[in-house]
Structure 1
Amino acid sequence: MSLSQYELRSSIAVSDIHRAVEFYEGKLGLPVLRSGPSARIADGGRVYGSGGGPALNVYQSATAGQTSSTLATWYVDDLDRVVDELAAAGVACVRYEGLVFDERGITERAGGGRIAWIQDPDGNTFALESDA
């Protein structure tokens, strides 16, 4: 048996689905593919599309924002443009100690390329990466 033949999605816990909707749909521009209940919360979950298919399960949970790890990464062709568009929508890049960032919040990626990080309102972290 191999899981490689199956679609994989990242699941993101949020503390307030309505606030999350404003971020994921309003600021990131992700399309809703499905919405429905999350545990005992009516309409507490969303499946968002990215890259032509389902990509993120976002659901309301008491465990929201409890990890500082990067939960998912978008691989983009033009990192400068994407970061500028997100900044215009009110999404700031996260800067970490020990790394050198440009004025946009982009840094060199280990192994080549460039990377920036953003966070949702609960502190869930996402990366934006490009090879150039």
Structure 2
Amino acid sequence: MPLSSFPLRASIAVSDIHAAVAFYEGKLGLPVLHTGPSARIEGGGRVYGSGGGPALNVYQSTTAGTTAATLATWYVDDLDQLVDELAAAGVETVRYDGLEYDDRGITPRAGGGRIAWIQDPDGNTFALESDS
């Protein structure tokens, strides 16, 4: 059976599950679908929903924030509105050298559309992309 037959979720390591909860639930507004232990910590893991199903496994680990790569991408209809809403919740966009940004921290995406990046408290990076 090919892997394409099964759902896929991103797994995100965090150093402090309580700080992660404040970010993913409080600032991003993601719903918790399941909690469980992680790293022998009761309630140290969460499964968050997005787009109508489970999307992110967030768990406490000593490997938190060790990659500079984008870990997951949300494809959105209104990037300006979403970035404004996140900014109001205290989430800042990340700016990388060599790219030009508008006042919100949004830059043109290669191949068309636009993109912005955000990071959780451990520096795990997520993209927000729009085709317009």
**TM-score band, normalised by shorter chain:** over 0.9
TM-score for both structures, normalised by structure 1: 0.99
| Paired amino acid for 2:100 | V
In the TM superposition, residue 111 of structure 1 has moved relative to its aligned partner by: 0.3
Task: Determine the structure 1 residue equivalent to 2:28.
Answer: 28
Secondary structure of the corresponding residue to residue 96 of structure 1: coil
| Paired amino acid for 1:78 | D
Structure 1 Cα separation of the partners of residues 14 and 121 of structure 2: 8
Structure 1 Cα separation of the partners of residues 42 and 61 of structure 2: 12
Structure 2 Cα separation of the partners of residues 58 and 33 of structure 1: 11
Structure 2 Cα separation of the partners of residues 2 and 60 of structure 1: 30
Structure 2 Cα separation of the partners of residues 23 and 78 of structure 1: 21
Q: Percent identity?
A: 81
The question of 1:63 aligning with 2:63 is answered yes
Secondary structure of the corresponding residue to residue 111 of structure 1: coil
Task: Determine the structure 1 residue equivalent to 2:12.
Answer: 12
Secondary structure of the corresponding residue to residue 22 of structure 1: helix
Structure 2 Cα separation of the partners of residues 129 and 5 of structure 1: 25
In the TM superposition, residue 41 of structure 1 has moved relative to its aligned partner by: 1.1
Task: Determine the structure 2 residue equivalent to 1:127.
Answer: 127
Structure 1 Cα separation of the partners of residues 42 and 25 of structure 2: 19
CA offsets, 1:17-70, max 9 Å, x none? 000000000000000000010131111000000000000000000000000000
Secondary structure of the corresponding residue to residue 104 of structure 1: coil
Secondary structure of the corresponding residue to residue 93 of structure 2: coil
| Paired amino acid for 1:90 | G
Structure 2 Cα separation of the partners of residues 40 and 119 of structure 1: 25
After superposition, residues 1-132 of structure 1 pair within 5 angstroms as 1-132=1-132
Superposed structure 1 runs of 4+ greater than 3 Å apart: none
Unaligned runs of 5+ in 1: none
How large is the RMSD of aligned CA atoms in angstroms? 0.4
Structure 2 Cα separation of the partners of residues 53 and 43 of structure 1: 20
